[in-house]
Chain A
């Protein structure tokens, strides 16, 4: 199976700040990557698919980039509503889909 490694596992940031989360795949997944946001006690929400495509209704301060084995999720100007845990997920058709371990974004 392809392993997805997120870093950091947690971070503290200020409102208005820029946040970057990295997701690394153990082998190439081309652009078959999605990002989700999960708030405590709630279901995850799809943010980004195909590594860089913004899901409808998601604010434009969220962006994704990368291909192959290294990917990033960037929040350009952190808002109070963005404090949550973020997960990446690959959907390479040649391997069972897996999620990263998550990155918790907390208030500084």
Chain B
């Protein structure tokens, strides 16, 4: 059974940094492409970014609002995904979910077939 367990959320001041982790089990993590998706309180879902597996180059892509501030990385030896968040603003407040990507054929834009329970990030002074 796929399990994704996020951690590292908390309260941080505007301009601060935070690193989230996602511990994965129940599937071949090093083969997987992974994403982060967030949800502001009472709002809808927003894709943050994703990372390919090393066989596919390990490349990363990010949504425009976080590009240049957030970095996704992975440690395949620990089956763990990370999200480093810098220069945080109040707009970054929300629950952050780790997901497994699924993609079809030559279309490399994913949808998300497994989700963690999420970790809450609150940016406030």
| A positions within 8 Å CB-CB of B | 32, 34, 36, 38, 42-46, 49-50, 55, 87, 89, 91-93, 96-102
Which B residues lie within 8 Å of A36 (CB)? 45, 112
Cα A26 to Cα B104 in complex, Å, equals 22
Q: How many angstroms between the C-alpha atoms of A42 and B117 in the bound complex?
A: 7
Chain B hits for A100, CB < 8 A: 44
Q: How many A-B residue pairs have CB under 8 A?
A: 59
> Which residues does B use to contact A, with CB under 8 Å?
44-47, 63-64, 97, 102-104, 106-113, 115-118
With A32-B107, A91-B107 already in contact, the answer to whether A46 and B44 are too (CB < 8 A) is no
Contact B111 A46 (CB under 8 A): yes
Name A87's closest neighbour in chain B (CB-CB): B45
Write 23 A-B pairs (CB below 8 A) sorted by A numbering: A32-B107, A32-B109, A36-B112, A38-B45, A43-B116, A44-B97, A44-B112, A44-B115, A46-B113, A49-B104, A89-B112, A91-B109, A91-B110, A93-B106, A93-B107, A93-B108, A93-B109, A96-B64, A97-B47, A97-B110, A97-B111, A100-B44, A102-B45
